[in-house]
Amino acid sequence: MAVNSAIDMTEVKARRNKKVSVVVRSARPAWIIDVNEYPESQRMVFDLVFRPYPGRGWYRRRYEYDGEADVLHHRGEVGMPESELRTLPAEAGFHW
């Protein structure tokens, strides 16, 4: 008989946020958007909107967080016009 061991994604999210806080330490404000969770493998794929390079504008950067290995993988980035910031949901703001 198979046992269904549900993964608590709240704990995975907390570990992810700890890793993300290092990335955005000096680049706030920041937003986490378009989150896809994969509980069976403790993974999350999401976009982080912030200014990683001082004076060079806003970027939308894709990350994958591997909760089993506790590793944050950078998967690419694209520039983002400042005018699109107002379309970001307030609840997506990253506060850590």
Buried-state track 72-83, b at ≥16 Cβ within 10 A, e below 16: beeeeeeebeee
Q: Tell me the residue ranges of DSSP E strands in the chain.
A: 31-38, 43-50, 58-66, 71-80
Q: What is the pTM of this model?
A: 0.88
Q: Which pLDDT tens digit goes with each residue over 48-82?
A: 999 998 889 999 999 999 999 999 999 999 999 99
Q: What are the structural domain ranges in the chain? A: 27-92
CB 45 within 8 A of CB 36: yes
Q: Which pLDDT tens digit goes with each residue over 14-38?
A: 999 999 999 999 888 999 999 999 9
